[in-house]
C-alpha cells in the first residue's frame, strides 16, 4: 500500500485534467513553447509514464520544472482485489482529499471474430446524490464531483497494469493476450451527468488522437435519467453511447427505488430518449436491474415492452440480475429471466443479460468502499 498523497502534490496542476489545448495554454503561461504539449501528451497517454523524469525527449530543466509545478493523476491505490478467474479486478482509490472511490477492470476473452476486450468501469463522483435503494453508493450520500483528472487517472491505472502484464483468459492460452483498454463505461460510483463538465472533459481527453485515442463509440455514459443533461449530450460532437438506468416500467414502481423519478418521470425521460435517438441516430441501452419479486414478473415485462416499443430497434434492454447488497434484494431465478426476455422479444424489444461480475470481490458499485469503511 502506498502512503497518502502529500499536501505539496495537491497544490500542483494535475496534467491529466487538461485537454491538449488546455495543456498548450498552461505551458504558454509557464513560458514554454506550446508544441511541448504534444510531446507531454505522448508520454502521458502513449508511453503511460507516471514520472516526469521518464519524459526523456524534454530537457532536464523542463522535467524538473514540471515536477515542481505539476503532477500526474495523484491517486493512491489502497486496495486491489481480483476475482478467482482474474476476469474482474477492482481497486479502491484514495483521492488527494482522502475520499475513496472504486474502479473495476472487466476482461472478456475473444468471441468469434472479435478480439479480447478490456473495459474499465469508472467512477465519476465520490458518493452519489440520487439515493437509489438497490445501490450501495446510493446509501452513502454525496461527497463531491471527481475532477476530469481523477476520472482519467482511473483508466490510466488499468492501462498501465495491462501494458506491464497483458492478460490472457485462463483456459485459452493460445488466444492473443490483450495489453490495452478497449472500452470505458461510466457506471461506477456517482451519476456522470450530474458531473457533466468534468465527465465530458475526461472523455475528450481520453478520445484525443494525440493521446489515449479511445474512440467515442467505445465509451458509454450511464445515467439515472437526468433529462436536461440527456438533451445536452445529444448536441455534443463527441458521440458516446448512452445507457439509461431504468429498472422499472412504471412511475409508481420506479419511484419506490429511484427517487429521481419524481423529478423526471418516465414520460419525460422517454421523450428525451426519443429526441436523443432522432438527433444522433444512435441506439439507447436501457439498464434494468432485475430484483426478484419486485420488478421481474411477466406483468412488468409487458409494461416494459409497451414502454419501449415506440423506440423500436433503437432501444435495447440490458437485464442485470442484482448483486446482493445491504438492502436485501435477491436476483431472479434463471427461468424468470428467460420468461422476462421472451416477453420483451414479443414486443419487438431486443435484450441481453449482462453476466454478473466478480461476486467474490464485491464488484457492484460502492460495495468495496462500504466494506472497507467497516474494517
Site membership for ligand SF4, residue 190 (CB under 6 A) = yes
Q: Which of residues 205-234 bind ligand SF4 (CB under 6 A)?
A: 224
Site membership for ligand SF4, residue 244 (CB under 6 A) = no
Site membership for ligand SF4, residue 191 (CB under 6 A) = yes
The pairing of strands 350-353 and 315-321 is parallel
Nearer CB in complex with ligand SF4: 262/346: 262
Rounded Cα–Cα distance for residues 175 and 166 (Å): 12
Site membership for ligand SF4, residue 88 (CB under 6 A) = no
Site membership for ligand SF4, residue 358 (CB under 6 A) = no
Catalytic, 113? Answer no
Least Cβ distance, residue 26 to ligand SF4 (angstroms):
32
Rounded Cα–Cα distance for residues 159 and 102 (Å): 16
Half-sphere CA count of 10, side-chain side, radius 13 A = 10
Half-sphere CA count of 235, side-chain side, radius 13 A = 5
Least Cβ distance, residue 113 to ligand SF4 (angstroms):
33
Site membership for ligand SF4, residue 195 (CB under 6 A) = no
Nearer CB in complex with ligand SF4: 110/259: 259
Site membership for ligand SF4, residue 73 (CB under 6 A) = no
Least Cβ distance, residue 224 to ligand SF4 (angstroms):
4
Neighbours of 190 (CB within 10 A): 29
Site membership for ligand SF4, residue 332 (CB under 6 A) = no
Q: Which residue from 275, 272, 283, 278 is spatially nearest to 227, judged by alpha carbons? A: 272
Site membership for ligand SF4, residue 135 (CB under 6 A) = yes
Which span (72-80, 183-191, 306-314, 344-352) binds ligand SF4, by CB under 6 A?
183-191
E-strand stretches of the chain: 13-14, 70-71, 76-82, 88-94, 100-108, 117-121, 125-127, 142-145, 183-186, 219-223, 241-245, 284-290, 315-321, 350-353
Burial class (CB in 10 A: 0-12, 13-18, 19+), 114: exposed
Least Cβ distance, residue 106 to ligand SF4 (angstroms):
17
Burial class (CB in 10 A: 0-12, 13-18, 19+), 374: exposed
Site membership for ligand SF4, residue 138 (CB under 6 A) = yes
Rounded Cα–Cα distance for residues 332 and 341 (Å): 12
**Cα R_g (the chain), whole angstroms:** 21
Site membership for ligand SF4, residue 131 (CB under 6 A) = yes
Reduced 3-state DSSP string for 319-342? EEECCCCCCCCCCCCHHHHHHHHH
Nearer CB in complex with ligand SF4: 4/262: 262
Catalytic residue among 94, 102, 161, 287: 102
Least Cβ distance, residue 188 to ligand SF4 (angstroms):
8
Least Cβ distance, residue 83 to ligand SF4 (angstroms):
21
Catalytic, 365? Answer yes
Q: Which of residues 111-130 bind ligand SF4 (CB under 6 A)?
A: 128, 130
242, 275 in Cβ contact below 8 A? no
Reduced 3-state DSSP string for 81-117? EECCCCCEEEEEEECCCCCEEEEEEEEECCECCECCE
Site membership for ligand SF4, residue 102 (CB under 6 A) = no
Least Cβ distance, residue 289 to ligand SF4 (angstroms):
8
Which of 132, 159, 162, 226: binder of ligand SF4 (CB under 6 A)? Answer: 132
| Residues near ligand SF4, by CB under 6 A | 128, 130-132, 135, 137-138, 189-191, 224, 245, 365
Q: Which residues are catalytic?
A: 102, 365
Amino acid at each position: 500500500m502506498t502512503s497518502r498523497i502529500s499536501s505539496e502534490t495537491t497544490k500542483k496542476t494535475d496534467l491529466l485534467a487538461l485537454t491538449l489545448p488546455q495543456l498548450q495554454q498552461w505551458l504558454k503561461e509557464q513560458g514554454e513553447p506550446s508544441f511541448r504539449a504534444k510531446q507531454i501528451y505522448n508520454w502521458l497517454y502513449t508511453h503511460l509514464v507516471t514520472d516526469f523524469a521518464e519524459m526523456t525527449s524534454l530537457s532536464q530543466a523542463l522535467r524538473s520544472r514540471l515536477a515542481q509545478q505539476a503532477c500526474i493523476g495523484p491517486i493512491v491505490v489502497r486496495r486491489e482485489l481480483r476475482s478467482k478467474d482474474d476476469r474482474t479486478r477492482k481497486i479502491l482509490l484514495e483521492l488527494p482529499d482522502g475520499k475513496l472511490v472504486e474502479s473495476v477492470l472487466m476482461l472478456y476473452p475473444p468471441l468469434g471474430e472479435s478480439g479480447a476486450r478490456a473495459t474499465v468501469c469508472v467512477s465519476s463522483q465520490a458518493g452519489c446524490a440520487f439515493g437509489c435503494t438497490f445501490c450501495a453508493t446510493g446509501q452513502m450520500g454525496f461527497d463531491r464531483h471527481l475532477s476530469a483528472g481523477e476520472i482519467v487517472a482511473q483508466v490510466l491505472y488499468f492501462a498501465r497494469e495491462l501494458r506491464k502484464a497483458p492478460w490472457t483468459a485462463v483456459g485459452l492460452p493460445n488466444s492473443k493476450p490483450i495489453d490495452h483498454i478497449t472500452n470505458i463505461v461510466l457506471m461506477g460510483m456517482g451519476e456522470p451527468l450530474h458531473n457533466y463538465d468534468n465527465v465530458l472533459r475526461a472523455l475528450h481527453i481520453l478520445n484525443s488522437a494525440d493521446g489515449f485515442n479511445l474512440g467515442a463509440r467505445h465509451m458509454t455514459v450511464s445515467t439515472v435519467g437526468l433529462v436536461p443533461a440527456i438533451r445536452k449530450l445529444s448536441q455534443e460532437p463527441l458521440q458516446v453511447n448512452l445507457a439509461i438506468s431504468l429498472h422499472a416500467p412504471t412511475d409508481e414502481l420506479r419511484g419506490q427505488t429511484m427517487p429521481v423519478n419524481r423529478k423526471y418521470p418516465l414520460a419525460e425521460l422517454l421523450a428525451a430518449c426519443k429526441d436523443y435517438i432522432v438527433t444522433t441516430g444512435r441506439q439507447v441501452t436501457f439498464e434494468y436491474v432485475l430484483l426478484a419479486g419486485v420488478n421481474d414478473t411477466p406483468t412488468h415485462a409487458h409494461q416494459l415492452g409497451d414502454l419501449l416499443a415506440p423506440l423500436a430497434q433503437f432501444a435495447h434492454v440490458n437485464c442485470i440480475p442484482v448483486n446482493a447488497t445491504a438492502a436485501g434484494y435477491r436476483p431472479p431465478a434463471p427461468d424468470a429471466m428467460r420468461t422476462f426476455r421472451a416477453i420483451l422479444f414479443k414486443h419487438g424489444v431486443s435484450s441481453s443479460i449482462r453476466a454478473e461480475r466478480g461476486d467474490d470481490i464485491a464488484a457492484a458499485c460502492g460495495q468495496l468502499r462500504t466494506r472497507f469503511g467497516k474494517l
